Each structure stands twice: as C-alpha cells, then as structure tokens.
C-alpha cells in the first residue's frame, strides 16, 4: 500500500487532499458512524416536514410507518454509496469522475458540492445562529435589542453577531480535522436523546398522557393513498440527496466496511425511531394541549419554564445544526472546490472559500421568500437524485466494485484520457432530471414530480443501462466491420 500511495503522490495531478486516505488515517469505527447523522435527523426542517404530513390528514400510524420505511431505505442507500469510499479511501469528487468521466463530473459535482452545499451551509448557519441568539439572550437579555433599529440588509445587530459567531465556530472545525468532528458527533448523541426525549415526555404530560395521542383522529387524506405514501417517503429522502451522494467523503475514513455499514444502518434507523416518537408526540400532543400543533422545536423550547431545560435544549439544537453543517455541507464543498482547482486549493482553503460565499449569499434574505428557496432546492434535488442512480449502477453493475486507482488518478494513462466524458451517464442524468421536474409544469406528469426522488433514481438507472449497453453494442459492431 505504501508503494502504491507514493506512486500516486508522484504521478497524480490531483491535490494530496484528494488522494486515497492513508491506512493510519482510517480511524472511524462503529461509534462514529452511529452518531454522525443524528444532527441531520433532529433539526427544524425535519419537524416541519412531519407537521406537513399531519396537515394533509395522515394518522399517527401512517406517519410512523412512513418515517420507518424512509429510514430503512436511507440507511441502505448510505451504505451502498459509501462502499467505494471505504474500500478505496476516495472522496466523492473522485468517485464521481469514475462514473461521469473527469470532465463530465464537473456539472453534477458543482451542483452538489458547490451550489447545493453552499446554499444549505448558509441556511443552516442562519438557522443555528437563530437558536444561538436565543441562547445568549437567556444569559444576557439586552443582547437581543443591541443596536436598536440598526440593520445590515435586514439583519439586526444581535442576529448579525450571532450569525458571524456561529460561522466562526463552523470554520474552526475546518482546521481541527476529522477526529474533532467525530468527537462532536459523539457529544451530540446523548444530548439529542436526552433533550428531544424530554420534549416528548413534556408534551405527553401536557396532553394528559399517551392515550389521547394514540387516539388522535386524523381528518383523512384525499386522493390516491399509495401515491401520497410514496410522496411522503420521497419528501423525507429528498432532503438527504446531497448526503447520500457525498457519503464517501466520510466513509473514506472508515476502518472497515463493517463499521460503516452497521454503524450507519443502526444509527439512522434507531435515530429515526426516536425522531418518529418525538415528532409525533410533540406535534399531536401540542395540538391537544394548546389547540394548535407546534412544528418548530424552538417554539417548544420557548414554552419551557425551566432555565436549565431551555439552555440545554438550545445548546443541543446548536450543536446538532453544527454537526450536520460540517458533514453535509462544508466537507463536500471543500473537496469539490479542491477537485475543480487542484493546483490552487487544498481542502482547508476550498472549505474556507465555501463558507465565505455562504455569508455573501446572505441566507437571511433568501429565507424571506420561502417560495423561491424551495423551488431552487426542489430543482437541485430533482437533478441530483438521478446522479445517485448513475453512481450506484456504474459502481456495482458496470465496474462490479472494482476500480483501478492508478488509472483514476494518473492523467497520463490511456484509460484516464479516454474517459473524460461518460456520455451515457450525462444523458441519463439530464433526461431523468428533466422528467422528474416536468411535473411541476405539466399537470399530467405531476405524480412523477411528487415522487421525484424515486423517479429520478429509477429512471436514471434504466436510461443509463440502456445507453451504456447500446453504446457498447454499437462500438462492437463498428470494431467488427473495421
């Protein structure tokens, strides 16, 4: 392994941060992967999504079943797309070039690693800073009114200071390495179980016990119940498109495929089981107790009358937001920018640039118009889900889990030069992505748009296999005639 690594370092045109992870750096075990995605599950957007399920008339058992099925599918996708990262130690940007070609990977890579990651980084940083402002206000009440009517593009002074402070904390983890991230996720785990479990118990007591919640009468849904079920599962999984794509950025540090597989499967399913109980009891219990369902966990915290509980809850929300921001946004953006500019950037400088752009886009302004934000995110999600299908089918079916690392990194190899654009992969992605989004404009295709996560992946798989083998047959015919 040492000789191969040295050869890659001498001949590779890539930055050293993109080279396969060295054996002594593969330190992540079961515990790291069990805890890493907890922040991605327990956050404000997740609770709002579940609240939307109840709003359309689903029962508690339907919602529970949807969450459970989603967690199982998610865990499977994470493990499958993380396999190459564990086996070869390569990041997402390099794995992507194997599927799409070194030049062809630029478009999906930029969409996931730059546009989506930076967009989400800004939004998550702003969401975390909002909780941070409330936390600081618990100890310094005058903090929330600092600066009076002064504002920076619509952001008052205390909100701006909280945003910058939370941004600095995010940047800190860029320079402390993956070990510090592992410690953070392990710290967040017990806090999430205690705090969100406590919220659930508190709401159950307010509702008069568990029986009123279990006897909650849903208003019922209109339309095809099976399609609605798939649409709800798709809605949950669509928020994970980016993490599924770039999971190799973290599995490349795994000590074994067993650790990442069992860790992610058990971690995601158990965390989602807790999330289902907590979200259902909070939303339904609050509706029983107050007459209005509470979808935002910060509103739940606001009703607490114990300062210790308030502080612990806000601190946990801040840490879980920080955890998901680093894993799902900063790391992919840093590696992707490094891949685009290997001679000018390394991971740390690329990640820093990404976080700076996260300030420049002024996410608080973007959140003033929720329609444009979610239209943009739906567009990116609809175009990215086909990438998952292409990557999985290329690695498991076309390559049969075998990758020639030397050819992948060494630009002088014949295979490297001949695979700059994998046209079947590009065409399958564009056509599947376009079809997934057409339902937003053509009523007849709306059902496919409502389940765009499934539509994009399955259609991309079918199209890619078709284009790949048709191309192979055409090349074979041309060779025989020649």
Q: Which two tokens stand for residue 136?
A: 């600081």
Q: Which residues pair with 28 in a beta bridge?
A: 254
- 441: number of CA atoms within 13 Å, CB side? 7
Can you tell me which residue has the tokens 């508690």?
60
> Is-contact 319 339, C-beta < 8 A?
no
Q: Which two tokens stand for residue 58?
A: 């689903």
Q: Which two tokens stand for residue 44?
A: 């404000």
> Is-contact 170 355, C-beta < 8 A?
yes
pLDDT given for residue 423 in this prediction: 92
Q: What is the pTM of this model?
A: 0.85
Residue boundaries of the structural domains of the chain: 2-481
- 391: number of CA atoms within 13 Å, CB side? 30
Question: Taking the CB of residue 337, how many other CB atoms lie within 10 A of it?
Answer: 28
pLDDT given for residue 133 in this prediction: 92
Question: Taking the CB of residue 417, how many other CB atoms lie within 10 A of it?
Answer: 11
What are the residues whose beta carbons fall under 8 Å from the beta carbon of 21, sequence distance 6 or more? 89, 90, 252, 253
3-state secondary structure of 420: coil
* Torsion over CA: 375, 379, 385, 387 (sign): negative
pLDDT given for residue 2 in this prediction: 53
pLDDT given for residue 64 in this prediction: 94
Calpha distance 21→164 (Å, rounded): 32
- 247: number of CA atoms within 13 Å, CB side? 29
Q: Which residues pair with 151 in a beta bridge?
A: 156
pLDDT given for residue 411 in this prediction: 61
CB environment 2-18: b (16+ within 10 A), e (fewer): eeebeebeeebebbebb
CB environment 255-287: b (16+ within 10 A), e (fewer): eeeebbbebbbebbeebbebbbbbbbbbbbbbb
Q: Which two tokens stand for residue 374?
A: 């979610």
> Is-contact 156 147, C-beta < 8 A?
yes
One digit per residue, pLDDT tens: the chain, 482 residues?
A: 555 555 455 555 566 778 899 998 899 999 889 988 887 888 777 777 888 888 888 889 999 999 999 999 999 999 999 999 999 999 998 899 889 988 888 888 888 877 777 888 888 898 889 889 999 999 999 998 898 888 888 889 999 999 999 999 999 988 887 677 777 877 888 888 888 888 889 999 988 999 998 888 877 777 778 888 998 898 889 888 888 999 999 999 999 999 999 999 999 999 999 899 988 998 888 888 888 877 777 888 888 888 898 899 999 888 888 888 888 888 888 888 888 888 888 889 999 999 999 898 888 877 665 555 556 656 766 788 999 999 999 999 999 999 988 777 776 555 554 468 899 999 999 999 999 888 888 888 888 888 889 999 999 999 999 999 998 887 776 666 65
pLDDT given for residue 429 in this prediction: 94
CA distances from 155 to 186, 318, 368, 369, 410 (A): 33, 19, 11, 15, 48
pLDDT given for residue 426 in this prediction: 94
Q: Which two tokens stand for residue 250?
A: 């973290």
Can you tell me which residue has the tokens 């990557």?
391
How far, rounded to the nearest angstrom, does the alpha carbon of residue 408 sit from its chain's CA centroid? 26
pLDDT given for residue 367 in this prediction: 67
Q: Which residues pair with 254 in a beta bridge?
A: 28
Q: What is the CATH number of domain 2-481?
A: 1.10.4160.10
What are the residues whose beta carbons fall under 8 Å from the beta carbon of 344, sequence distance 6 or more? none
How far, rounded to the nearest angstrom, does the alpha carbon of residue 343 sit from its chain's CA centroid? 28
> Is-contact 281 213, C-beta < 8 A?
yes
> Is-contact 198 309, C-beta < 8 A?
yes
């Amino acid at each position: 392994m040492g000789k191969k690594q040295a050869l890659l370092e001498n001949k590779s045109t890539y930055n050293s941060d993109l080279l396969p992870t060295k054996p002594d750096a593969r330190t992540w075990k079961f515990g790291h992967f069990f805890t890493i995605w907890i922040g991605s599950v327990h956050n404000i957007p997740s609770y709002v999504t579940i609240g939307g399920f109840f709003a359309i008339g689903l029962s508690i058992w339907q919602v529970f079943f949807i969450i459970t099925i989603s967690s199982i599918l998610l865990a499977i996708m994470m493990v499958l797309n993380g396999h190459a990262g564990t086996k070869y130690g390569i990041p997402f940007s390099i794995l992507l070039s194997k599927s799409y070609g070194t030049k062809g990977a630029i478009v999906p890579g930029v969409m996931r690693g730059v546009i989506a990651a930076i967009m989400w980084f800004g939004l998550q940083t702003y969401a975390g800073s909002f909780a941070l402002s409330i936390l600081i206000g618990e100890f310094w009440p005058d903090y929330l009114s600092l600066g009076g009517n002064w504002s920076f593009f619509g952001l008052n002074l205390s909100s701006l200071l909280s945003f910058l402070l939370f941004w600095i904390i995010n940047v800190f983890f860029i320079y402390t390495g993956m070990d510090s991230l592992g410690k953070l996720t392990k710290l967040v785990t017990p806090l999430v179980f205690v705090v969100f479990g406590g919220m659930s118990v508190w709401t159950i007591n307010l509702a008069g016990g568990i029986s009123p919640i279990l006897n909650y009468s849903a208003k019922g849904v209109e339309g095809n119940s099976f399609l609605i079920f798939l649409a709800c599962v798709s809605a949950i999984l669509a928020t994970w498109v980016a993490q599924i794509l770039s999971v190799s950025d973290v599995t490349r540090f795994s000590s074994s495929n067993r650790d990442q597989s069992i860790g992610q499967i058990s971690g995601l399913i158990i965390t989602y089981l807790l999330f289902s109980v907590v979200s259902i009891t909070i939303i339904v219990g609050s509706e029983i107790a107050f007459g209005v369902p509470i979808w935002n966990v910060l509103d739940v915290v606001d009703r607490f009358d114990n300062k210790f509980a308030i502080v612990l809850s806000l601190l946990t929300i801040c840490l879980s937001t920080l955890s998901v921001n680093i894993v799902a946004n900063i790391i992919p953006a840093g590696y992707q920018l490094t891949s685009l500019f290997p001679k000018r950037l390394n991971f740390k400088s690329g990640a820093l640039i990404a976080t700076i752009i996260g300030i420049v886009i002024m996410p608080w302004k973007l959140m003033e118009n929720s329609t444009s934000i979610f239209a943009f995110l739906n567009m990116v999600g609809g175009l990215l889900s086909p990438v998952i299908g292409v990557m999985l089918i290329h690695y498991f079916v076309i390559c049969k889990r075998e990758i020639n690392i030397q050819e992948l990194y060494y630009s002088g190899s014949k295979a490297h030069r001949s695979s700059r654009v994998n046209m079947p992969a590009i065409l399958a992605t564009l056509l599947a992505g376009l079809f997934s989004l057409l339902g937003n404009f053509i009523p007849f295709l709306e059902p496919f748009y409502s389940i765009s996560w499934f539509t994009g992946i399955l259609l991309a798989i079918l199209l890619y296999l078709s284009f790949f083998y048709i191309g192979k047959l055409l090349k074979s015919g041309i060779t025989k005639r020649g």
